[in-house]
A and B are shown apart, each in its own frame.
Chain A
């Protein structure tokens, strides 16, 4: 299974295995990691699963869709590498992915 590293709001890191085909958000929810709230359950309807995609992985995933970027752009914590983690599907090609979870969601 691909492993994903989450840098949590308190600065600590957790690396977990995420079943291929699930999202970065799913991995966080299944392992009860703090930070990602996922109010809408992954339907790109809120902005409470916001992460920063680190390093080369940002380019690997590419740009957010227009709808996703509209949800992100008015957040106080938005950055160029901001994504909604419900939209980031993890497969073997994403093994080693690293994301940072900002302190504030929504």
Chain B
């Protein structure tokens, strides 16, 4: 064994991916040293409450109890940054200029919120949401007397809008595209959700081009400025316009990147001693030809499991159908599969009842499912996507027909 083989598995990034990987390594019997490095001061925590429950006590929810890391012999290094990788020497350099050797390096650096390159973007009160620290700011700012403007109608933006509205806050959502969730949901779901938010008193403006933020004399945001000159007054502006993969380290080290670190179905990068997992990766998914950058916890956890198997030299488990969830007001949304142009949408259930599902069909095979308060439809849909089960479209659309009886 060379010195490098006895070096620790080093994981850069202590989010859901990194946090899951350390546990799985031990479950699979890996007994060597493991170092988990995170740039945030908090030990790995659940991220969904940041946008779904930031007003509540459940906001702070660690992935594992703190004593877990000591019990499992995991060296947790928080508030530390890795600034460079030397793939030849198999070392990483930390912010304090020390070096750390690795046997295997796992990059789980995630993504960072995209900022708007417009005037006023650095005013006080123009915020983003990614970390627990960001969510604490949001929690302190949510108040019925304060006006919140959310720039970007993605899932994070709409979840925050729902929470803020539910505590009586005045909320405006601005979206550049002509519908909410334009990148990530079907037009059918966009329309239904828009109706739901508007019915709850949220103002939703689409095709709204944000050109700047106007501040008061104290340097605090007072309005969001639109391309047509309109000003939307606010006390806080949350910018939620997507995330950029944090692949700079990998790219500087010569690893193949393409808007994210390119990995295979076992999380391998172009360097034999470096794996990558989570939001930072561009990965194969299902039978889709191009690589996909997923931004979801199930994807990060699945890749963490794959990476752990690679490290201990066991067969890598097969990938499951991608899925994610979102909570907005009383709607528990669950999505599975991948939306692609050319699919036919079939709605099952009456959206006005709050329980409905949009199935997306490739011929008579389900390719994707978007469900609200319909766990059975979601689970059946996910299963049928996985097994490429042929279905009878007419029966699928009829809520009176049981989901076991929709198979063709």
Which A residues fall within an 8 A CB radius of B? Answer: 29-30, 32-34, 37, 39-41, 43, 45-47, 67, 70-71, 73-76, 106
Offer 17 A-B interface pairs, CB within 8 angstroms, sorted by A: A30-B65, A30-B68, A32-B26, A32-B27, A32-B72, A33-B27, A39-B297, A46-B323, A70-B376, A71-B375, A71-B376, A73-B376, A74-B376, A74-B379, A74-B382, A75-B379, A106-B320
Interface of A is mostly: loop
Q: Are A30 and B380 in touch, CB under 8 angstroms?
A: no
Which B residues are in CB contact (< 8 Å) with A39? 297-298, 301
A33 to B, closest residue via Cβ: B27
Partner of A74, one of B61, B325, B383: B383
**Complex CA distance for A76 and B375, rounded to whole angstroms:** 16
B180 to chain A, nearest CB (A): 21
Partner of A47, one of B72, B301, B374, B379: B379
Q: Are A29 and B64 in touch, CB under 8 angstroms?
A: yes
Question: Total A-B residue pairs with C-beta atoms closer than 8 Å?
Answer: 51
Which A residues are in CB contact (< 8 Å) with B27? 32-34
Q: Are A41 and B48 in touch, CB under 8 angstroms?
A: yes
Q: With contacts A32-B27, A39-B301 known, is A45 near B325, CB below 8 A?
A: yes
* Residues 310-332 of B contacting A (Cβ, < 8 Å): 320, 323, 325, 332
A30 to B, closest residue via Cβ: B65
Partner of B334, one of A41, A45, A76: A45
Which A residues are in CB contact (< 8 Å) with B61? 41
**Complex CA distance for A45 and B61, rounded to whole angstroms:** 16
Partner of B332, one of A34, A37, A45, A76: A45
**Complex CA distance for A76 and B64, rounded to whole angstroms:** 29
Q: Does B23 sit at the interface, judged by CB under 8 A? A: yes
Which B residues are in CB contact (< 8 Å) with A30? 64-65, 68
B335 to chain A, nearest CB (A): 11
